Amino acid sequence: MSASLAIPPLPLGTKPLANQVAGHKYGEGKTKLGCLQHEDGTVLKPVQGPPRGQREMDFYTTAFDENCSNKTLFNLRQFIPKFSGIVQCTDNPNVSYLKLENLMHHLSKPSVIDIKMGKRTYDPEAPPEKIALEVAKFPPVLKLGYQLSGMQVFDPELNKTVKYDKYYCKRLFEDTMVTHGLGKFFLIDNGLRKDVIKVVVDKLKELESWFLEQRMYAFYASSILIVYEGDVKHKPDCSTVVNSDQTKKNRENTLRSNSPLMENGDEDTNKSIDSLHIGNGDVDGRISAKLNGACERPLVEIRMIDFTHVFPSQEEDSNYLFGLQNLIKHFQCLLEMPS
């Protein structure tokens, strides 16, 4: 194996990032560099080559400048991963990492989704061939304003995580994104985790308020990462008590028929919104009843990520806002589905 193809050594105290659903992964791609998780509970993200890597470093260092007095930047910090500086790789002086907050560090069984925002995903410096490539990747983004890059969902009944990769996500369209895309991310025992969805909507509305006011940046090809604790059984007050062997068998059959990891990967993602029965009143009712009692709010984290295509701007970022407002509306559609 040539040196250019060799997998780079892992920095001390790190390992490949678990639960990564999109983006460059360690050991894959041309450079084979990818996100790592550090034993101290942070994530190390490789700094890309210029100008993208420098652009992302500048964004984080500006946002988390200790001497920053800008209200817009100060308010932005709650929506992006905490930045703890640059880590230089001792084995390779040409490799450095952004040291960032790990949203999954304290979660037992995380469910994770990566949503790329904006109907335009190419930046102002993109050449014509790059523009054509981006436009052809996912045509429905022009109407949706966002696209799914990948997700994983922990199923507490089966005690396993189901992954939906980028190929599954690219088979979604405008009329199936809500149910077969966003809906699957919150699916539990044929019902919806509406307790989680409500928190997600509240947090996204706060982010929307920031975007409506800010006139500093235009975000291209940036994503929103949503993470929540998928294991509800370790909290008795929040559990969905389903112990029937027949129920488990039915869930396994449903999983096999719907999972993109099945052998032929031929799930029909073109079904209408009414064809996916995910409004199970028994499940939603049990969760809601417990949440209205002694149970705490579900563990949910939302952050903007990926800032290699962030540009200064003095105008409203209508591109990002279009997708964000559509996303909020579609999550609200899930909340309004009959139980």
Judgement on whether residues 182 and 202 belong to the same structural domain of the protein: yes
Q: What's the CATH number where 65 sits?
A: 3.30.200
CA angle 185–186–190, rounded 5-degree value: 110
pLDDT, mean of residues 247-256 = 44
Neighbours of 235 (CB within 10 A): 15
* Band of pLDDT at residue 72, cut at 50, 70 and 90: very high
Pick the closest to residue 115 from 19, 23, 186 (CA basis). 23
Name the percent of the chain lying above pLDDT 90. Answer: 58
Tokens 């409004």, located at residue: 279
Judgement on whether residues 116 and 90 belong to the same structural domain of the protein: no
Judgement on whether residues 184 and 63 belong to the same structural domain of the protein: no
Judgement on whether residues 309 and 219 belong to the same structural domain of the protein: yes
Judgement on whether residues 193 and 311 belong to the same structural domain of the protein: yes
Judgement on whether residues 66 and 144 belong to the same structural domain of the protein: no
Pick the closest to residue 220 from 145, 132, 136, 314 (CA basis). 145
Q: What's the CATH number where 308 sits?
A: 3.30.470.160
For the purposes of burial, counting CB atoms within 10 Å of the CB of 316, is it exposed (0-12), middle (13-18) or buried (19 or more)?
A: middle
The reported pTM is 0.81
**Tell me, what's the pLDDT at 233?**
59
Judgement on whether residues 120 and 257 belong to the same structural domain of the protein: yes
Q: Which of 43, 75, 101 is the C-terminal boundary of a domain?
A: 101
Neighbours of 203 (CB within 10 A): 19
**Tell me, what's the pLDDT at 31?**
66
Judgement on whether residues 169 and 298 belong to the same structural domain of the protein: yes
Q: Which of 73, 101, 129 is the C-terminal boundary of a domain?
A: 101
pLDDT, mean of residues 129-155 = 94
Residue 137 to residues 15, 125, 148, 195, Cα–Cα distance (Å): 31, 19, 12, 33
Judgement on whether residues 275 and 230 belong to the same structural domain of the protein: yes
Number of structural domains (the chain) is: 2
What would you report as the CA-atom Rg of the chain, rounded to the nearest whole angstrom? 20
Judgement on whether residues 177 and 301 belong to the same structural domain of the protein: yes
Judgement on whether residues 151 and 215 belong to the same structural domain of the protein: yes
Q: For 8-12, 186-190, 260-264, which range has the lowest pLDDT when averaged over its residues?
A: 260-264
Domain that holds residue 322: 110-336
